[in-house]
Structure 1
Amino acid sequence: LVELNIDYRQTGVGGNNSWGALPLDKYILWPREYTYTFRLRPLDDPAQLPKLSQVKFQTPKK
């Protein structure tokens, strides 16, 4: 079994201390609709990785 979890963003893990303070407002993901896209491609040859990591894909128009 292979499980892959891809998150768009992650809210802050704590405020200015580690004793229960909330993250600062600029690091909170407020409730709203978030969308993003990603693409998975098979990697036949690990030597391709540097080249493939530079490929820019067009995002679909809505």
Structure 2
Amino acid sequence: MSITTSICIGCSVCINECNYNVLSLSEEKAEVVDRGACNACGKCEDACPTGAINVYTVIDLEDY
């Protein structure tokens, strides 16, 4: 997950959508506070009105 802080408006919508307490506000911008708790569901990314959040998963190439 990454957050483009230059376009984050600090609206807290992503924080309210996250069921895993991954995000928080710092200096009026969203930030990742517990990356390990993220299950990459994408709810925060879908809810972000500015598109500042990008959720991605890591693929273990050994599985292929």
Instruction: Compare the two structures and name the one with the higher helix fraction.
Output: 2
- Who wins on radius of gyration, i.e. which is larger? 1
Normalising to structure 1: TM-score of the pair? 0.20
Instruction: Compare the two structures and name the one with the higher strand fraction.
Output: 2
Normalising to structure 2: TM-score of the pair? 0.19
